Amino acid sequence: MDLDDWQPLSPTQAAAVFAGASFPWWIAGGWALDLVVGRRTRRHDDLDVGVLRRDQAAVQRYLRGWELWAADPPGTLRPWAPGEWLPVGVHDVWARRPGSASWRFQLHVNEADGPSWVSRRDPAVRRSLTEAVVDVGGIPVLAPELQLLMKARTPRPKDEADFAAVLPALDVRRRGWLARHLPAGHPWLGPLGRPTDSGTPAPATRPQVRRLRHDAPEVAARLVDLQRLAYAQEAALVGSSAIPPLHETVAELIAADLVVLGIEDATGPVAALGYRVRDTVLDIDRLAVRPDRARQGLGRRLVGFVLAVVPHRRAEVATGAANLPARRLYESLGFVVTGETEPVPGLRVVHYRRDARVGDGPGRPPVTGPSRR
């Protein structure tokens, strides 16, 4: 077994492999930072994909068409037996196709506590999954400040290069979070406190999906404005104005039992999705896109992000029967019609469901090989 025989997937190829997963996953490591930067800044010898330890049974079933090798401390590589539960301390699983000697990606097994990602190096460091994972061009990516914090412990030359490359892309909030979590005297604290050099403009990046605090009055007011614009357009499509978010007040939105994710530009939110999870059902309660930003993929990014990041066994959503753009979006993402209702005269609503899916392919055969040294 050649441990240096790597032909890593690209992030886009990895996204295709995990597109049908029912568990949260994300790109990690140096590739995650390059995706944030928007260009490849250095050579990457492997590809890291993050998953949660509690999801490992689902991960193993989903990847049953791959050879999976667990890395036991301090560095012994051995087959991950079907149904075996990897204990705390086993953080890495290598993957390759049956019959191939080349490794394609490495799973990083992460800890979690309820809805929060937890650092395995310092359990006091934790972020909600919707903040720990960001969307970059439709690909879930570990938030850059979290990736840098892991690299900051004993930075190697490539870690220093990653920090220098991604620093201009970090906004004030991400810089501040990283600075607060670095130890006193760390050499990265100085650059984090300085603005980007005037001669090196921050790279242009696509607005990221982030959580919007709808319980804050000023945020709720902007979201209500967005909803009224978006749902007025839907009302015209379906021939009825009896759409609850169209008439929702700021106070009602503040009190709503929802998690709201959004995409913003300099003017405020341009797209937003509200959801809740009950038991294992992900209920997508609303999706609003500002009409002048329609057909730019923003709704698809939000729905794809929540399906990838929020743990669930089934997702449900409803939309007006005559809202064909929304129906095409949900059906293209694997939702199927489960029924139709008429909550008020003249408003027909189609209900959709998407069950968590497991990857297709033959069962993973047993594999053998020498230990990693």
Cα–Cα distance for residue pair 234/241, rounded to 1 Å: 8
For tokens 């923003």, name the residue: 298
pTM of the model: 0.66
Beta-carbon contacts of 168 under 8 Å, excluding residues fewer than 6 positions away, are 196, 200, 201, 202, 203
CB atoms within 10 A of CB 186: 15
Which tokens go with 232? 């007025």
CB atoms within 10 A of CB 252: 13
Q: Which of 30, 52, 53 has its CA nearest to residue 42?
A: 30
Q: Which of 280, 292, 277 has its CA nearest to residue 232?
A: 292
Residue 211 forms beta bridges with which residues?
261
CA 116 remoteness from chain centre: 13
CB atoms within 10 A of CB 297: 16
For tokens 């949260």, name the residue: 24
Weakly modelled stretches of the chain, pLDDT under 50: 197-204, 358-373
Beta-carbon contacts of 76 under 8 Å, excluding residues fewer than 6 positions away, are 371, 372
Cα–Cα distance for residue pair 282/257, rounded to 1 Å: 13
Q: What is the pLDDT of residues 118-176, one digit of tens each?
A: 998 888 999 988 889 988 888 899 999 999 999 999 999 999 999 999 999 998 989 99
Is the distance from CB of 68 to CB of 95 less than 8 angstroms? yes
Is the distance from CB of 71 to CB of 77 less than 8 angstroms? yes
Q: Which of 247, 231, 125 has its CA nearest to residue 178?
A: 125
Q: Is residue 98 classed as helix, strand or coil in its secondary structure?
A: coil
Residue 265 forms beta bridges with which residues?
268
The whole-number pLDDT of residue 23 equals 87
Q: How is 136-156 classified by DSSP, letter by letter?
A: ETTEEEE-HHHHHHHHTSS--
Which tokens go with 126? 């934790």
Q: What is the pLDDT of residues 314-361, one digit of tens each?
A: 999 999 999 999 999 999 988 999 999 999 888 999 999 998 754 322
Cα–Cα distance for residue pair 109/69, rounded to 1 Å: 13
Cα–Cα distance for residue pair 8/106, rounded to 1 Å: 9
User: 189 exposed, middle or buried (CB, 10 Å; 0-12, 13-18, 19+)?
Assistant: middle
DSSP 103: B
Domains and CATH numbers, the chain: 11-192 (3.30.460.40), 210-355 (3.40.630.30)
**Most distant CA atoms of the chain, gap in Å:** 70
Q: Which of 112, 141, 113, 184 has its CA nearest to residue 18?
A: 141
